[in-house]
Structure 1
Amino acid sequence: MVHLNFNRWLTKRVVELNFLSGQGVVDVACGTLGLSVLGFLVFGRRRKVKGTASDGSSSLPTHLCRYFSLAEIKAATQNFSQSFIVGVGGFGHVYKGHIDGRATPVAIKRLKPESSQGAHEFKTEIELLSQLRHRHLVSLIGYCTDKNEMILVYDYMARGTLADHLYHTDNPPLSWGQRLQICIGAARGLRYLHSDAQGTIIHRDVKSTNILLDEKWVAKVSDFGLSKMGTTTMSKTHISTAVKGSFGYLDPEYYRRQQLTVKSDVYSFGVVLCEVLCARPAVVHAVETRQMNLAEWTKSCHRDGELDQIIDPNMKGKIETECLNKYVEIAMSCIDDSGMERPSMNDVVRGLEFALQQHQNCGERNNEDAFATVPGCATNESVQCISETIFSEINDPNGR
């Protein structure tokens, strides 16, 4: 009875939001197909257990999710106090809260009432994260639907987003070793989605603000509201779907053909790699036209032998030359115009691990906060560039 009521409630919300946003009944039908399955996933079992396999994936039974009353959510956030807001996104505000007698810090994401796509994202987030457990994916603790609210409760990530430590911030710059470790962690999370989860999952909104960092700087991929799930063989095919994502990270091939593949995530991750190297956002509006799109600007500089001009000044002289060349090679291959030419996330993980090994061999300790110029490290003159073709066709700046 409980999950039947939830199905009715969510169906009503999907219909209302689709009507308000001018979408057709096709979206409603698609959205309701998985409701009975979702009811089982969400409400089937709620007991609390612990355990993680050695490869980072969960050794626990899946489909575990906890229901919170609105009173519990309000108590955790002091009635959604503005002082508790730790993030704002397309979905709504994110609050830091405490549950279980204030013993457990959590992140609480509350849907904005006017969000036209919130019901779909809310359903997708619960449907996927109730099944997934991995060291490099943010864990969903539970949700709340009291009084037509749509609220999700996650593990709290104390260090915030990757973007918080790259630009527009007062945080001290990350060392190159930290950046590599974070990139490797996020890449492992995406590799799990693409090849190790039950069926291939395409995230569809990979970006630096959706890579979160816990107290120990472990990277975790978050925000699965736009994700698509397919078969285990989908990595060799595609899903025909309307283009959604965030401007600056959209795969141009997906944009042109409206065919989503795992290589679309690879492209977006390549943009993140450019952000990490350059400490610049994916899109900058207050510069000349060629510099607006970071991915295209990076490819242009790489082609013209000018990559040293856009590397984060904090990193100059602190990255071993071979390590930098390997990292740039990976990033450029990820943002290749052709999806067929892009590596798999497994290849990306291996390449980044090799780059980290080269960096460690250069003498930096993993936990080093600040360090002097390392002998044999890349300078402006030693950055090697290879010709790349330039492509830029993404014109819609609205993203999600």
Structure 2
Amino acid sequence: MFSTTASASTALQWSQPGRELKFHEILSATQDFDESLVIGQGGFGKVYKGSIFNGSTRVDAAIKRLDSMSDQGKDEFWAEVEMLSNLRHIHLVSLIGYCNHGHEMILVYEYMSNGTLEDHLHKLGTPLSWLQRLNICLGAARGLDYLHTGTGIESGIVHRDVKTSNILLHESWAPKISDLGLSKMAPRQPSSSDVDERIKGTFGYLDPDYYYTGKLTSKSDVYAFGVVLFEVLCRKRAVDESLDWGLAKWAQDSIKEGKLKHIIDFDIRDQISPKCLKEFVRIAQRCLHNDPMLRVTMADVVVKLQVVLTQEEKNQKSLQAAGRTIFRKMLHILPFTTKQVDSAPKSSSGVGNNISAVGNTNDEADNMFLDTREVSEDLGIPEPSLKVFKFADLETATSNFSQDMRLGRGGFGKAFLGWVDENTFFPSKEGVGIAVAVKRRHQVHYQGRGEWLAEVSLLGQAAHPNIITLLGYCSDEHKYLLVYEYIHTRSYDDLLFTNSPEPLSWGTRLSILIGVARGLTYLHSLKDQVVCRGVKSSDILLDQDFNAKLGDFGVARFCPNIGETVVTTAAAGTLGYIDPHYYATGQVSAKTDIYGFGVVLVETLTGLRAWDIKRVDEQQNLVCWTIPIIKRGEIDTIIDPHLKTNYPPKAALESCVALALKCLVYEPKDRPSSEEVLRSLEQIYDVSY
């Protein structure tokens, strides 16, 4: 249970905060979910304006209804109910109640008549004054500081999705932090056991250190808040089409180039005093420091913003009395330097540009942010050609999901060996019929219908020897299962990174990579082009003859036109494999898969994992560490020692290294296509043998 502080209170006291509401109350409040009452829509679903009883008084409320197609499901729902039912603060949105009725999951909040900060900055063009913006920033900072230090929880609460669309505005313009569905209690100093290999968050606001290391602390919220500060100052989105690298890096680069006055929102340029501007920008930069340990805390931000606001209020009173504008006379001579703030980013690949500011998941967790809106737009009903399994039959086939039948575990859930009749697919005894792999969604995991439906829809249409075959699926209330052909060997990473008495030979490795390239070429050439978004060695399955099959399409995307780039709001991927251009811009294309393939290629050459917390800090990200070494021509120092007895010919090794470098360049347009990768690998094989 969460404890609250005596000073934490909301503007309106609810008679039964966080109470369970009946479904008929929700229907009455929303007039049976009348579309005319929809006031917003996000990854969770639609939000309706309705009226609900607070004791004997009917009050306005914001009613958020889970979309049946949404990937944000049961776990986010209960996380938010638990958090907001027990936390109280004037700058934290209040939960009136919730409803859990059959498939319906509904959250009911106090109604915030002025919408979101994002609305006013980017959609409505509201003429927000500089003082209004400072007050909003200060209030939001206080709300976050409460989550980090004022809840009574020793480790504090990390919001994990701080952004302007999650800062709601009361009718008095008082800001309130909302949407705690991704929030997490996390130690302030995470150890190797506290690492998320999958990341959650929003493009433009994601902390690069969290991206590189998987270590989540309150300083990740601080980074995102730094982006919010620049968003308020510049009135540009965190990821803007006109800004190649996102707002945070663009703003910091502009400041370094002496262009500070040019990036400030024109509407407020004559309202800001040089001294307050300098301090405000310094706060934002300290929030965005590359090293989390050197970022300010939210408590520091509150104090510093209060000083800026107080000084600005005095300045404006003085200006009004004097009838003059300091900004216009003095900004051009404003002394400003950022040398003391080291915001230079770490390189994501050692190739091309670096990442400092990045572009809303997940996930973040196995699905590093599957954007639920993408699922609803892209995917239809499951393929009718697939077998629809009954849950009871799958229980029987897997001996009631016995631990003895367990094959492994991923972010979606556990996989079990099962036995079914070869013709009818009805359950059979162990060793009788054919073996299948049954992947069952973990009951307490956040990934749900969205990822399940993605895999069913994509694999239901795919037929290729290098793509895993999906036999069928099961959807029984909140139980989501997938049934695949059983691959008798293991995944590529199992064989590549374990100390096997017979390590994979150079020829076998090349054959596996060629199989993967053939699978990608097939997916990328489909009429409705498929982009995996998650090419990695653990998703390359190997049969008994070491033929490669691509598996795990839970975060894949359809691109309706071949060669098309799709912009997403939520990231998806795994530490060490994520395409830095995708991470920075949210742009997904077939070239996103090519970057991941390049990482697998480097793993193949070195025999090392793409990301490993056991290595020293500068070596944890394999690509960041090895690309400079490769460029210096020192590949011999990092080549997999297991290849020493079966060393590839010099020409083959050089070609393989050159291909890896091409796959890992920053600009997607400069990467080879999957067809070009396939041709290159076949030529390398010819040179090798």
The structural deviation recorded for 1:399 is 2.0
The structural deviation recorded for 1:67 is 1.5
Matches within 5 A, 1:1-400: 53-54=6-7, 56=9, 64-100=17-53, 103-171=58-126, 173-199=127-153, 200-230=156-186, 234-237=187-190, 239-241=194-196, 242-285=198-241, 287=242, 289=244, 292-364=245-317, 374-375=325-326, 380-383=331-334, 384-387=336-339, 389-391=343-345, 392-393=354-355, 394=358, 398-399=569-570
The structural deviation recorded for 1:99 is 1.1
Please, what TM-score do these two structures have when normalized by structure 1? 0.78
Q: Give unpaired runs (5+ residues) of structure 1.
A: 1-36, 42-50
Q: Deviations over 1:334-365 (max 9, x none)?
A: 01111011000000000100100110110259
Change (3 A) 1:196 1:276: same
CA distance in 1, matches of 2:96, 2:216: 29
Change (3 A) 1:298 1:147: same
Aligned-partner residue type, residue 157 of structure 1:
M
CA distance in 1, matches of 2:324, 2:74: 51
Q: Any conservation in 2 of the 1:213–1:220 contact (CA below 8 Å)?
A: yes
CA distance in 2, matches of 1:61, 1:240: 38
Which of 1 and 2 has higher RCO (CA within 8 Å, sep 6+)? 1
Aligned-partner residue type, residue 386 of structure 1:
T
Q: Any conservation in 2 of the 1:77–1:84 contact (CA below 8 Å)?
A: yes
Aligned-partner residue type, residue 325 of structure 2:
V
The structural deviation recorded for 1:300 is 0.5
The structural deviation recorded for 1:218 is 0.7
The structural deviation recorded for 1:114 is 1.3
Aligned partner of 2:376 in structure 1 is: none
The structural deviation recorded for 1:57 is 7.5
Q: Any conservation in 1 of the 2:226–2:287 contact (CA below 8 Å)?
A: yes
Q: Any conservation in 2 of the 1:320–1:378 contact (CA below 8 Å)?
A: no
Aligned partner of 2:547 in structure 1 is: none
CA distance in 2, matches of 1:205, 1:76: 29
Aligned-partner residue type, residue 188 of structure 2:
S
CA distance in 1, matches of 2:327, 2:266: 17
Q: Any conservation in 1 of the 2:288–2:343 contact (CA below 8 Å)?
A: no
Aligned-partner residue type, residue 304 of structure 2:
G
Q: Any conservation in 2 of the 1:107–1:157 contact (CA below 8 Å)?
A: yes
CA distance in 1, matches of 2:86, 2:114: 25
CA distance in 1, matches of 2:160, 2:269: 32
CA distance in 2, matches of 1:193, 1:62: 23
Q: Give unpaired runs (5+ residues) of structure 2.
A: 346-353, 360-532, 534-567, 572-689
Change (3 A) 1:378 1:166: farther
Q: Any conservation in 2 of the 1:62–1:130 contact (CA below 8 Å)?
A: no
CA distance in 2, matches of 1:378, 1:144: 58
Q: Any conservation in 1 of the 2:137–2:229 contact (CA below 8 Å)?
A: yes
Aligned partner of 1:11 in structure 2 is: none
Aligned-partner residue type, residue 244 of structure 1:
K
Aligned-partner residue type, residue 161 of structure 1:
T
Q: Any conservation in 2 of the 1:108–1:152 contact (CA below 8 Å)?
A: yes
Q: 1:152 is paired with a residue of what secondary structure?
A: strand
Aligned-partner residue type, residue 149 of structure 2:
S
Q: Any conservation in 2 of the 1:249–1:268 contact (CA below 8 Å)?
A: yes
Q: Deviations over 1:367-397 (max 9, x none)?
A: x9xxx86336775514434245443534795
Aligned-partner residue type, residue 60 of structure 2:
P
Aligned-partner residue type, residue 70 of structure 2:
S
CA distance in 2, matches of 1:75, 1:179: 37
The structural deviation recorded for 1:325 is 0.6
Aligned partner of 2:459 in structure 1 is: none
Q: Deviations over 1:210-264 (max 9, x none)?
A: 000101111100000100014xxx2243642221010000000000001101100
Q: Any conservation in 2 of the 1:76–1:102 contact (CA below 8 Å)?
A: no
CA distance in 2, matches of 1:67, 1:61: 13
Q: Any conservation in 1 of the 2:14–2:96 contact (CA below 8 Å)?
A: no
Q: Any conservation in 1 of the 2:285–2:343 contact (CA below 8 Å)?
A: no
CA distance in 1, matches of 2:299, 2:118: 24
Larger radius of gyration: 2
Aligned-partner residue type, residue 345 of structure 1:
M
CA distance in 2, matches of 1:93, 1:103: 22
Q: Any conservation in 2 of the 1:204–1:244 contact (CA below 8 Å)?
A: yes
Change (3 A) 1:288 1:193: closer
Q: Any conservation in 1 of the 2:239–2:247 contact (CA below 8 Å)?
A: yes
